[in-house]
Structure 1
Amino acid sequence: MTGRSDPIAATRHGRVQGNLEGGVLVFRGVRYGADTRPVRFARAASPKAWTDVRPAQNYAPAAPQTHALEPTSEDCLFLNIWTPGLDQARRPVMVYLHGGAHAHGSGSDPLYDGCNLVLRGDVVVLTLNHRLAGFGYGYFANLGGPAESGNVGNLDICMALEWVRDNIAAFGGDPARVMIFGQSGGGAKVVSLMAMEQARPLFHSAATMSGQHVTAIGPMNATRRASAWMAAVGAPDFDRFREMPMERLVEAMGGPDPIEGKGEISFASTLDHRALKRHPFYPDAPVEAADIPLIIGNTHDETGYWLAATLKAGDTTWDNLVPRITGQIVKDVDPQWLVENYRKLYPTHTPGQLLLAMSTATRSWPGHLVQAEMRARQGTDNAPSPTWMYQLDFPAPEAGCVLGAFHTLDIGLVFANTHLASARTGATVEAAELAAHMADAFIRLARHGDPNGGNLPQWPRYTLERRETMIFDRAISVERDPRGEERKLLAPITYIKPGG
């Protein structure tokens, strides 16, 4: 490097120049893969080396996606790095995989800024862009396309992790202590990577935050979705489809899903028997990943994120509760039976509060329980699996806390970025104190493979006997089997991921 104000780091492909921001060295838009347009739907190529010093002060384009909020391009394989120094300190490395249901987002959201994690924990933080939606997870193996097409988004992440392995020492990081963590779709990518042979050697600890995937998309349903996408643009075969303009392909992804009959065409990790040879948590947790320390987290009121307008309106009544919950259920359970039993569990709840509780328990919560239970079965009472469960109960302050602790609320806490309005935690002392605990726990997992330490209560590993879960709230505590009566009520009803 030339100096802290204009840091220059050497990668195996060439030198890059970043910025000094608040005492942290920041490199944005560092290339880890070549332009994907020439290899659309296939494995990406490594970038060609360069001899000049490439600027790394600005974020690079996001992957092609519908409803994009930033510039997009098929030339999207870039990552961002926050580090205390370009030295030989060999710090833990925390690689964040963004959410967005495998279809939206990027690593450049201000909420993912790594400066505060770096300053708190003397770690190196990375975010990255990779191919999304049909470009990253469209499965064309049975339609004349590449065999790996249903998982090239995950293979891009593998390429980024290989870049970390080969280059992160030059940025003060330790390639032998790499943690991956992600929220929602990012958490789903985490557990999919744990099931992938190519990915597992590239990281050493992991955390999934509201990433409730148990199964990947099966190859037959994935083929139906790819066929629907081709039909939407009028392509008679894969070769012509592959050559169509990016903008036309993106527009066509916005049509309804051919299996679920709603939303956009749904693309995600695919059980292709090649890159991904098994489901993440079916029929069990992958034994090859059993020794990888894993945090599994969820928020108490996940569906408050999607039901915000309804909950704020406050117009849910006993008369319309059954039809409203019918539209939210993922588990195949009779809505009337569900309402009757939840009214017995929570006799003082309002209809709106029951809507929030029931929708979370039958839509977003089940996958997390399956993940934790499958991991717990890999251990014993004397030697539990290295798995820790948390539940965020800290409510968002907006609208009188009516949304509860909703989906995404833990992101700003884990990044210690509660001062940002987009965190939605409120820029309060309480939120900052909770963020300190959560961020430090994640940092300790990256450093030691165990989140325990500091002022946090002792966090036991998750077992089927005790089901001990860290409750992150204004007062932090460990609770045995939180919402246990709900769990027991719904346990006989199989969880099946829609459209899987």
Structure 2
Amino acid sequence: MSTETAEATISTGPLRGGASDGIRRFLGIPYAAPPFGPRRFQLPSAPDSWTGVRDATQFGPAAPQTPYRGRTGQLLPSLNSDGTDEDILTVNVWTPASATEPASGPLPVVLWIHGGAFERGGSSLDGYDGTSFARSGVVFVSANYRLGSEGFSVLEDAPRNLGLEDVAAALRWTHAEIAAFGGDPSRITVMGESAGGALVGALLSRPDTGPLVSGAIIESGPLDAADPKRAGRVTRALAKRLGIPATREAFAALSPAELLAARTAQAAGSSPLRGAPGFLLARDPESLPESPRAALPTATAPILIGTNTDEYRLWFTPDALARISPWQATLGHLALKIPRAAVRAYRTQSPHAGAGDRLGQALTDSMLRAPMTQVADRRTAPTFVYEFAWQSPVDGLGAGHALELGFVFDGLDKPDSIRMAGDAPPQRLAHEMHDAWVRMIRDGDPGWEPFAPGRRVRVFDVESRTLPLPRADAVDAFSSAS
């Protein structure tokens, strides 16, 4: 594959990226100043301009993080960064080479926000390559943001939700600069998976960023934001472990590597059902006045939103599920506050499933599917719901969390996808899903019926179908109990 140079000029200076096969790439572009030194635990600030032409052929460094461990590390790609490379707030742009030609007209734009439980991930992962979207006529932008303690600590004297504030800054950068790459600033769809999906919901919920969003795609994204006390549990626990107060001064006195080491020790042996608390979005008058679950029903932008059938199978091995006894499942249902009607529905709809699988579905519904359905039921703006049901043959993963990404990006041949989907997944399904996502970005309609009024859901599988809401009795039990 021959590579040529590509040039663009934005408000902070000229860029030199690369081009091949009709796609131009500009990587590692600062959208905000490095959030370290005096800027640590502060709101993102504007990037500095540069003199001469900035090289934009390499990704910027990832936010401080440690790799996934154990089985999760075998299935999900990891990055490793101790924070010594500080210029982490960068974006990347893929655009058709013809995008800036006068006859082409501005193209629709998508801003991709990666997931990783608010403490891992990055835009440089191989599976997030934007080539397939650019080839489909979309200007694709991806962004890094602060993670873990740097991005989601709840400190007494520091702004909250700094990772969200970073993503908001990346959205504003996209709105201001994307015309230089042939994109239409009035047609920006924001797309994310898992924690990235939660951040998409938050952007759409904020009064300052919501108007910049023309559409949203939320894949397996939690829609709740916690009160500051609950969101701050992880911060207080880290402060106690380190013997310091939960203040900006005390946390900033430690290096990112020291905070990462403390978090790694704190989280050792944790699971979604027990152990150390995780990082969460916090409700906050300045950065997130209202939880997305409450705000999204009145948002006017069209939304594509969905989950995977077996989300929980990324977090629990088949052996771990098999070891969960009915008694342990009952305790889990109580701990998760699963409505009794939902427990009865799981037994009815899956009579041959083990106690572990029924508990896993309860966890999925509690975290993801029930809030999603409640939002979709209440929205009057166009809302399209999907479920990804294709079963991976890899290590009992089924239709586990994050499996759909290789299909959405039409990148089943990439190592990141092969880890989860194996080496022979259905390419036709990848074409189908990628095309639907492109239609959503381009037209605000992925190509099937809206959720309302018939509660219709597109179920993606070897043979995809549009069906009434699957397992509605269990999902609706959460609404009845609230």
Q: TM-score range by the shorter chain?
A: 0.7 to 0.9
Task: Please name the residue that 1:497 is paired with.
Answer: none
Structure 1 CA distance, aligned partners of 2:479 and 2:151?
A: 34
Structure 1 runs (4+) greater than 4 angstroms displaced: 260-265, 314-317, 324-330, 337-341, 488-491
**Pair 1:128-2:143 in alignment:** yes
Q: Which amino acid aligns with 1:439?
A: H
- TM-score in terms of structure 2 length: 0.87
**Pair 1:279-2:291 in alignment:** yes
Task: Please name the residue that 1:310 is paired with.
Answer: 319
Q: Which amino acid aligns with 1:409?
A: L
Residue pair 1:419, 1:426 contacting (<8 A) in 2 also:
no
Task: Please name the residue that 1:486 is paired with.
Answer: 474
Structure 2 residue corresponding to 1:103, chosen from 102, 107, 119: 119
Residue pair 1:330, 1:362 contacting (<8 A) in 2 also:
no
Residue pair 2:64, 2:80 contacting (<8 A) in 1 also:
no
Question: Against the structure 1 CA distance between its residues 425 and 261, is the aligned structure 2 distance closer, same or farther, given a 3 Å change threshold?
Answer: closer
Task: Please name the residue that 1:474 is paired with.
Answer: 462
Deviation at residue 338 of structure 1 after TM alignment: 7.2
Question: Against the structure 1 CA distance between its residues 15 and 469, is the aligned structure 2 distance closer, same or farther, given a 3 Å change threshold?
Answer: same
Structure 2 CA distance, aligned partners of 1:487 and 1:75?
A: 43
Task: Please name the residue that 2:5 is paired with.
Answer: 6
Structure 2 residue corresponding to 1:180, chosen from 184, 190, 202: 190
| 1:34-433 correspondence runs (5 A) | 34-37=33-36, 38-67=38-67, 69-73=79-83, 74-85=86-97, 87-88=100-101, 89-119=105-135, 121-140=136-155, 143=156, 145-146=157-158, 149-213=159-223, 215-236=224-245, 238-256=248-266, 262-282=274-294, 285=296, 287=298, 289=299, 291-310=300-319, 315-316=322-323, 320-323=325-328, 326-327=331-332, 331-333=336-338, 342-347=346-351, 349-351=352-354, 355-364=356-365, 367-379=368-380, 385-399=381-395, 402-423=396-417, 424-428=420-424, 431-433=426-428
Deviation at residue 492 of structure 1 after TM alignment: 3.8
Residue pair 2:342, 2:478 contacting (<8 A) in 1 also:
no
Deviation at residue 334 of structure 1 after TM alignment: 8.2
Structure 2 CA distance, aligned partners of 1:307 and 1:65?
A: 22
**C-alpha root-mean-square deviation of aligned residues, in Å?**
2.8
Deviation at residue 340 of structure 1 after TM alignment: 6.7
Deviations 1:449-481 (A, max 9, x none): 1112xxxxxx11112x52110011111111012
Question: Against the structure 1 CA distance between its residues 359 and 240, is the aligned structure 2 distance closer, same or farther, given a 3 Å change threshold?
Answer: closer
Deviations 1:284-319 (A, max 9, x none): 6352x2x111011101111111123427xx8558xx
Deviation at residue 443 of structure 1 after TM alignment: 0.9
Residue pair 2:192, 2:199 contacting (<8 A) in 1 also:
yes
Kindly, what percent of the aligned residue pairs are identical?
29
Secondary structure of residue in 1 paired with 2:184:
strand
Q: Which amino acid aligns with 2:316?
A: L
Question: Against the structure 1 CA distance between its residues 334 and 154, is the aligned structure 2 distance closer, same or farther, given a 3 Å change threshold?
Answer: closer
Secondary structure of residue in 2 paired with 1:150:
coil
Secondary structure of residue in 2 paired with 1:122:
coil
Task: Please name the residue that 2:70 is paired with.
Answer: none
Structure 2 CA distance, aligned partners of 1:72 and 1:91?
A: 37
Task: Please name the residue that 1:443 is paired with.
Answer: 438
Deviation at residue 133 of structure 1 after TM alignment: 1.4
Structure 1 CA distance, aligned partners of 2:347 and 2:231?
A: 39
- TM-score in terms of structure 1 length: 0.84
Question: Against the structure 1 CA distance between its residues 330 and 479, is the aligned structure 2 distance closer, same or farther, given a 3 Å change threshold?
Answer: farther
Residue pair 1:103, 1:133 contacting (<8 A) in 2 also:
yes
Q: Which amino acid aligns with 2:439?
A: R
Structure 1 CA distance, aligned partners of 2:334 and 2:302?
A: 32
Secondary structure of residue in 1 paired with 2:426:
helix
Structure 2 CA distance, aligned partners of 1:219 and 1:360?
A: 28
* Runs of 5+ unmatched residues, structure 1: 380-384, 453-458, 495-500
Residue pair 1:302, 1:364 contacting (<8 A) in 2 also:
no
Question: Against the structure 1 CA distance between its residues 18 and 398, is the aligned structure 2 distance closer, same or farther, given a 3 Å change threshold?
Answer: same
Q: Which amino acid aligns with 2:51?
A: T
Deviation at residue 326 of structure 1 after TM alignment: 4.2
Structure 2 CA distance, aligned partners of 1:172 and 1:360?
A: 43
Question: Against the structure 1 CA distance between its residues 123 and 158, is the aligned structure 2 distance closer, same or farther, given a 3 Å change threshold?
Answer: same
Question: Against the structure 1 CA distance between its residues 389 and 198, is the aligned structure 2 distance closer, same or farther, given a 3 Å change threshold?
Answer: same
Residue pair 1:329, 1:359 contacting (<8 A) in 2 also:
no
Structure 2 CA distance, aligned partners of 1:343 and 1:212?
A: 25
Secondary structure of residue in 2 paired with 1:8:
strand
Deviation at residue 397 of structure 1 after TM alignment: 2.2
Task: Please name the residue that 1:455 is paired with.
Answer: none
Q: Which amino acid aligns with 1:285?
A: L
Structure 1 CA distance, aligned partners of 2:16 and 2:275?
A: 41
Deviation at residue 404 of structure 1 after TM alignment: 1.7
Secondary structure of residue in 2 paired with 1:437:
helix
Q: Which amino acid aligns with 2:190?
A: I
Structure 2 CA distance, aligned partners of 1:238 and 1:31?
A: 24
Deviations 1:402-456 (A, max 9, x none): 432111011111111111242123444x62111111111111111111112xxxx
Secondary structure of residue in 2 paired with 1:369:
helix
Task: Please name the residue that 1:462 is paired with.
Answer: 451
Structure 1 CA distance, aligned partners of 2:125 and 2:326?
A: 36
Of 150-159 and 229-238, the range deviating more from structure 2: 229-238
Total equivalences in the alignment: 458
Structure 2 CA distance, aligned partners of 1:404 and 1:448?
A: 31
Structure 2 CA distance, aligned partners of 1:374 and 1:21?
A: 42
Residue pair 1:329, 1:362 contacting (<8 A) in 2 also:
no
Secondary structure of residue in 1 paired with 2:109:
strand
Structure 2 CA distance, aligned partners of 1:223 and 1:483?
A: 34
Structure 2 CA distance, aligned partners of 1:118 and 1:425?
A: 24
Residue pair 1:255, 1:263 contacting (<8 A) in 2 also:
no
Structure 2 CA distance, aligned partners of 1:118 and 1:304?
A: 32
